[in-house]
Structure 1
Amino acid sequence: MARVWLDGWLSTGLSNGDDPTPAAIRARIDKDLAKGWTLMVATAEGVVIGMLATYPGKVDQLFLDPDWKGRGIGKALFPEAKRLMPEGFTLWANTANARAREFYERQGMTLGEIAPRPDKPEQIVAHYRWSPG
């Protein structure tokens, strides 16, 4: 799973060269699960090809194996966020990640504002919201 996260991130072309190692990502996954993350994965032939991680009210991570992008995996995972949070949720997307932003908008998310990321104010992100109905 750490490999899907890292490879998915690197495939965006937005890396600044200071990327975590798979071991650091694995440690973060363990920490976030202990803090209440819900984690779902998509697999093919027993290999993880996609992941969706949520906190109550927030999609925290959605990454796909780069070889599986554009094949409906994200579209299959995203309804799980709506099922888990039927009253709505938010997420942040890197402003330069046009492919992800287009995907979120196709899934019915609404762009709120372009603003600093609350936990890392040096990063400017697109804030999205999904509400039912």
Structure 2
Amino acid sequence: MPTHARPADADQIAGETAAVDLVLAYLTHTVPAAPALSPLAADYMEQQASGLLTGAVMLDPDFSLNRRALMPPAGLAWLESVPMCETIAAAVHALAGDGGDRLSLLAQEERLMALAISTAARLVALYQPDEALRRLHEVRDVVSRP
């Protein structure tokens, strides 16, 4: 077994860890720092952020493939506490209504922000902030390992 990560593995680890860190930053209401990532790592970050949101949606006990996955009221209430520019807010609210059409119009950095904010809101609605943080720290521990 190799003792160090290959460059592609390092990009994957960096991107996936950065995605979890971004959701954690929004949950703790800290200003997210823009990580200096390679283009490949940024793509992994977006893939992980999308996966985190999908996972949070599917964890909702009311989730069904037969109807739209609307944001629970507690998540919508939490969103009120997050400062966002109009473009990001429109994308987040589209995602809250289970519509991501506005997401495709955004630059990658904006998509990442919208995905992270949406994930944080859905996790808060499911678990409350402290439990959401605990669970995300567990995810971070897994994805940050080589």
Whether the TM-score (by the shorter chain) exceeds 0.5 is no
Q: Which has the larger radius of gyration?
A: 2
Decide which structure has greater helix share: 2
Answer 1 or 2: which has greater strand percent.
Answer: 1
